[in-house]
């Protein structure tokens, strides 16, 4: 191995000495790589001519229009795809590019396209890109730059192989052909591979490679043919905004050196410059530019047409480029850039081999021929990365009309078409068609987008772990303790193992008697930062690095069963807590919510909030309240107000949605965020009432405190808003406690709970319990692409009065549904399910699990997923109940029972406190 390395470094040294002359002449940033370019790059070379000053002055001044419906800033993959899809929807946008099309990151992309992803929305977006490519081909009669050379995923161990098998199963419903291969079978497809160096592989023949310049040409030509405009050499210097009387800020235009364009809609598709552009508009996004690179080998005879390779365990990819191989990957120490100069165009950086060398061993082990092959050129360019390795899309919650399609994390070619399609619909129809929450810029709170240290840490970790196995339960080590709720220290003392959601620490599960602290992020020892000597938290996370039941499966089970049999205490403090007030608060609430919220004071209602297409934007509880005695739990206000509580992970999204609708409809109402002023303790289970009665003098009987109501109570001298509610299907109460009283109430509950078997329980137990009961979880089995009727939530959609999305709800009510949410129980007791498993009815593929858990009551895995009719007919109760079901997990099918409603306490007796 040493010998190999020496040879490699010699080759590299020779190469680097060649490039130094170029570097010396042009400072650190170089505008040309070595002159040896393969045929693919010849075309690019022609495009990336750097203009001399004299040439620059001879460029004709572009003429910009005075007005545009939509202005797109940036002529890379993101901007051009958006331009095309907007044109297809009948909107002729104007694309402004500061230099030439593709001159940012797009021109030097590796352009690989994969179809399999551990996420159904990603898969659908990739499908959107393929659809765009096919559409372009049909329109132009020419291939818009897609080569279908197939893709291989290489596994070096059994766990990775299991992950791949999971992907193959997940891809089935979406029609993705994929095969599990032995090393020998893989070698037949890729003769240069050493079959002894890995465990197995999967092959996905529909994967391929995108030529960026051909694609961008085709997209812009087609869009221009439909009336859109592209203006090159036209930088945007300023985003013009205005503020109305209610402090709503909106976009009114852009300024260029050639004039101002008035517009109400700007799409920021400026790649690595998107962050600075957002700042120009007075808003922030968590986008971190980094250097990202691949090297190109000298020609190797016989590589033409071979599939692309992703070796996740080696953090490496290999792609054929003409008769050479391109090798790139994700390093533990990527170079993070403060910014990229404004005039950087068709530029590259000198490759830093101290970063790239990390790939050498893995690549020569997998393809030994690379030991003796030199490096012809290196391509190291700027690319944008984000804290969760997902793009930033959608409208800025603080600036109306300012949209994003940026932050593509080295995947902007493959997601370009799908995301272009969605952003066009987002702009024109108000919302995307797909469930874009994990792409929506509103998945980050204002605190997160403002904090560059947080974004930096998290983006580094997301980059370094990009090829790590995606386990069902994992948590980041970076950016932790960003937001701690009032109970944090008390819970840590009681053994909480924290997980992170929307910047908050929340208890995942408990190890009583142990204290698990999360140390500051050590960048995994990169950049010379000292590695944490001890990280118990990281060691605990590793126990979840399995596709089997983890070691602490039964510990979580004991929390869940304590809730079913005695009592459990959940900390829900990070949930969103909002007051909706104002002269038209009732009108606003009626329009926002599907359920009847015009109820008597202190009545709590579970409801959905929809978009106009009937998609579920949020689910929450809404309580009509009257003016109180003052303080955060019992505020003073005029007229009527509502107290809204939304799940923590989606609380900012919920807030932004409600806020946007109120603004657009012009209701005289406002929403106040009280999230950080109160903690929430939820006490659930048959003994919950006894415990509460011990610490207050209130009567918690059904008569005095019925289900779905709220009241202000006194707990040991602290004023608390109490609710009779349950997210787990038990007799239970939620206490919303002003921060200063939280510790006292917590200690009182824990003390009183001792003799009633009260146990602290985390979110892992809570999700298992809620799934067991058949409740919904927004962002998994209830999403923007689901209608409440499909989700079995018709009962929260009122038949009278108007509300946002009602037409779409009524349509399905009258005409029936083509898909329906169904609850499943696996008959087998020993197989875990994690979500994305395929659902078969009478041997036909009808859906996949959106969400899966383990039921500790039934001792088997359970899940929920939407099923369709194989003939495209309506899905009826009879259809659901008459079939024979199987769930496929990792390539193996298991018999399952299907239920329209969960079999757990179907009459809701436990909610009523009836345990007889
Ligand atoms: C080494 C490497 C390998 C990669 N491999 C792959 C891969 O295999 N598969 C894949 O899918 N993706 C890959 N990518 C990622 C992919 O290439 C990018 O995600 C994609 O090209 C980004 O496109 P974009 O439109 O967001 O940005 P860009 O292409 O950078 O476009 C942004 C444009 O905005 C313009 N602009 C900026 N500011 C202004 C302004 N004020 N006014 C006017 N114009 C402005 C810029 O000039 C630029 O042209 C790779 C990237 C790198 C670096």
CB 157 within 8 A of CB 313: yes
pLDDT value of residue 7: 30
Residues contacting residue 305 through CB under 8 Å, at least 6 positions apart? 149, 320
Q: How many residues can be counted in the chain? A: 916
Ligand 1 centre to CA of 536 (Å) is 39
Ligand 1 centre to CA of 105 (Å) is 3
Nearest CA to ligand 1 atom 27: 271
Q: Alpha-carbon distance 114 to 129, whole Å?
A: 11
Q: Alpha-carbon distance 568 to 685, whole Å?
A: 6
Q: What is 544-555 written as a DSSP string?
A: T-SSS--TTHHH
pLDDT value of residue 27: 26
Nearest CA to ligand 1 atom 31: 76
pLDDT value of residue 47: 41
The separation between CA 601 and the C-alpha centre of its own chain, rounded to angstroms, equals 37
Q: Alpha-carbon distance 203 to 310, whole Å?
A: 10
Largest CA distance in the chain: 90
Vertex 192: Cα angle to 187 and 193 (nearest 5): 55
Pocket test of ligand 1: the residue of 96, 106, 349 to mutate, having most ligand atoms within 8 Å of its CB, is: 106
Ligand 1 neighbour 213 (Cβ under 6 A): no
Nearest CA to ligand 1 atom 19: 412
Atom of ligand 1 nearest to the CA of 406: 26
Token readout for 909 is 């007796």
Q: Alpha-carbon distance 246 to 256, whole Å?
A: 29
Positions in the chain short of pLDDT 70: 1-59
Token readout for 667 is 């209701």
Pocket test of ligand 1: the residue of 47, 104, 407 to mutate, having most ligand atoms within 8 Å of its CB, is: 104
Ligand 1 neighbour 685 (Cβ under 6 A): no
pTM over 0.75: yes
Ligand 1 neighbour 362 (Cβ under 6 A): no
Atom of ligand 1 nearest to the CA of 96: 43
pLDDT value of residue 53: 54
Ligand 1 neighbour 254 (Cβ under 6 A): no
pLDDT value of residue 46: 42
Q: Alpha-carbon distance 238 to 278, whole Å?
A: 10
Token readout for 733 is 């109460």
Which pLDDT tens digit goes with each residue over 704-753? 999 999 999 999 999 999 999 999 999 999 999 999 999 999 999 999 99
Ligand 1 neighbour 420 (Cβ under 6 A): no
Pocket test of ligand 1: the residue of 96, 237, 258, 271 to mutate, having most ligand atoms within 8 Å of its CB, is: 271
Nearest CA to ligand 1 atom 21: 106
Token readout for 340 is 């990229």
Which pLDDT tens digit goes with each residue over 90-141? 998 999 999 999 999 999 999 999 999 999 999 999 999 999 999 999 999 9
Q: Alpha-carbon distance 323 to 859, whole Å?
A: 56
> What count of Cα atoms within 13 Å lies in the side-chain half-sphere of residue 568?
27
CB 174 within 8 A of CB 845: no
pLDDT value of residue 698: 85
Ligand 1 neighbour 271 (Cβ under 6 A): yes
Ligand 1 neighbour 558 (Cβ under 6 A): no
Ligand 1 neighbour 96 (Cβ under 6 A): yes
Is 132 strand, coil or helix?
Answer: helix
Ligand 1 centre to CA of 353 (Å) is 23
Gyration radius of the chain over CA positions: 28
CB 294 within 8 A of CB 379: yes
pLDDT value of residue 415: 98
Q: Residue 609: beta bridge partners? A: 593, 618
From 397, 386, 406, 526, select the one nearest 455 (Cα to Cα).
386
Vertex 868: Cα angle to 867 and 871 (nearest 5): 155
């Amino acid at each position: 191995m040493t010998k190999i390395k020496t040879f490699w470094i010699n080759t590299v040294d020779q190469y680097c000495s060649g490039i130094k002359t170029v570097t010396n002449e042009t400072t650190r940033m170089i505008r040309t790589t070595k002159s040896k370019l393969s045929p693919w790059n010849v075309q690019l070379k022609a495009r990336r001519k750097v203009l001399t000053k004299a040439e620059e002055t001879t460029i004709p001044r572009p003429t910009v229009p005075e007005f545009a419906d939509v202005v797109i800033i940036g002529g890379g993959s993101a901007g051009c795809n958006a331009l095309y899809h907007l044109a297809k929807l009948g909107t002729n946008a104007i694309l402004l590019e500061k230099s030439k099309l593709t001159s940012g990151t797009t021109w030097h992309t590796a352009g690989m396209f994969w179809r399999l992803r551990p996420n159904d929305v990603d898969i659908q977006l990739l499908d959107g890109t393929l659809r765009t490519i096919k559409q372009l081909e049909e329109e132009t009669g020419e291939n818009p730059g897609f080569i279908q050379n197939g893709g291989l995923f290489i596994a070096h161990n059994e766990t990775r192989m299991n992950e791949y098998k999971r992907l193959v199963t997940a891809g089935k419903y979406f029609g993705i052909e994929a095969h599990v291969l032995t090393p020998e079978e893989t070698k037949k497809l890729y003769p240069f591979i050493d079959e002894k160096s890995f465990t197995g592989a999967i092959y996905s023949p529909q994967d391929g490679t995108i030529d960026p310049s051909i694609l961008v040409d085709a997209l812009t030509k087609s869009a221009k043919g439909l009336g859109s405009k592209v203006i090159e050499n036209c930088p945007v210097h300023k985003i013009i905004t205005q503020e109305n009387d209610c402090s709503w800020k909106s976009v009114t235009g852009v300024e260029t050196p050639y004039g101002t364009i008035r517009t109400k809609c700007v799409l920021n598709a400026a790649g690595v410059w998107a962050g600075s552009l957002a700042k120009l508009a007075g808003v922030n996004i968590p986008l971190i530019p980094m250097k990202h690179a691949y090297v190109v080998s000298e020609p190797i005879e016989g590589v033409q047409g071979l599939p692309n390779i992703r070796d996740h365990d080696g953090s490496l990819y290999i792609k054929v480029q003409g008769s050479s191989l391109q090798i790139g990957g994700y390093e533990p120490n990527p170079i993070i850039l403060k910014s990229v100069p404004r005039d950087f165009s068709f530029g590259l950086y000198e490759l830093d081999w101290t970063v790239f060398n990390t790939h050498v061993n893995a690549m020569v082990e997998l393809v030994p021929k690379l030991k003796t092959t030199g490096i012809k050129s290196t391509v190291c360019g700027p690319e944008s990365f984000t804290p969760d390795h997902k793009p930033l899309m959608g409208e800025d919650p603080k600036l109306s009309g300012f949209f994003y399609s940026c932050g593509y994390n080295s995947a902007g070619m493959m997601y370009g078409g799908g995301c272009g399609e969605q952003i066009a619909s987002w702009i024109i129809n108000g919302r995307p068609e797909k469930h874009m929450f994990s792409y929506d810029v509103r998945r980050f709170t204002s605190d997160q987008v403002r904090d560059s240290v947080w974004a930096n840490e998290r983006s580094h970790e997301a980059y370094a772990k990009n090829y790590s196995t995606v386990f069902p339960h994992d948590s980041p080590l970076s950016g932790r303790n960003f937001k701690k709720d009032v109970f944090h220290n008390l819970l840590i003392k009681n053994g909480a193992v924290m997980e992170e959601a929307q910047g908050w620490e929340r208890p995942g599960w408990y190890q009583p008697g142990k204290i698990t602290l999360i140390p500051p992020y050590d960048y995994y020892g990169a950049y010379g930062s000292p590695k944490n000597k001890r990280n118990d938290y990281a060691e605990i996370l590793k126990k979840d690095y399995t596709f089997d039941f983890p070691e602490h499966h039964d510990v979580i089970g004991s929390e869940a069963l304590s809730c079913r049999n005695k009592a459990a205490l959940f900390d829900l403090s990070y949930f969103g807590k909002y007051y909706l007030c104002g002269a038209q608060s009732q009108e606003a609430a009626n329009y926002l919510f599907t359920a009847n919220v015009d109820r008597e004071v202190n009545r709590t209602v579970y409801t959905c909030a929809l978009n106009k297409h009937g998609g579920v934007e949020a689910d929450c509880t809404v309580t009509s309240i009257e003016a109180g005695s003052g303080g955060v739990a019992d505020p003073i206000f005029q007229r009527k107000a509502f107290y809204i509580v939304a799940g923590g992970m989606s609380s900012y999204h919920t807030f932004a949605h409600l806020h946007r609708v109120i603004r657009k409809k012009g209701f005289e109402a406002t929403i106040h965020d009280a999230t950080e002023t109160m903690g929430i303790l939820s006490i659930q289970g048959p003994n919950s009432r006894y415990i509460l009665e011990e610490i207050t003098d209130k009567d918690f009987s059904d008569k005095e405190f019925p289900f779905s109501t709220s009241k202000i109570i006194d707990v040991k001298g602290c004023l608390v808003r109490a609710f009779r509610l349950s997210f787990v299907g038990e007799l239970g109460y939620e206490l919303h406690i002003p921060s200063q009283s939280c510790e006292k109430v917590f200690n009182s509950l824990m003390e009183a709970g001792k003799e009633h078997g009260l146990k602290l329980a985390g979110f892992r137990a809570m999700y298992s319990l809620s799934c067991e009961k058949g409740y919904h979880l927004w962002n998994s089995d209830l999403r923007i692409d689901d209608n409440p009727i499909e989700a079995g939530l018709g009962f929260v959609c009122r038949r009278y009065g108007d509300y946002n999305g009602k037409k779409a709800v009524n349509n399905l009510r009258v005409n029936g549904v083509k898909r329906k949410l169904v609850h499943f129980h696996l008959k087998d007791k020993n197989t875990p399910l994690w979500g994305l498993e395929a659902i078969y009815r009478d041997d036909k593929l009808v859906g996949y699990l959106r969400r899966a858990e383990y039921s500790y009551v039934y001792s088997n895995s359970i899940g929920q997923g939407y099923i369709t009719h194989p003939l495209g007919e309506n899905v009826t109760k009879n259809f659901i109940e008459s079939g024979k079901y199987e769930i496929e997990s990792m390539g193996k099918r298991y018999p399952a029972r299907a239920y329209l409603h969960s079999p757990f306490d179907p009459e809701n007796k436990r909610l009523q406190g009836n345990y007889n």
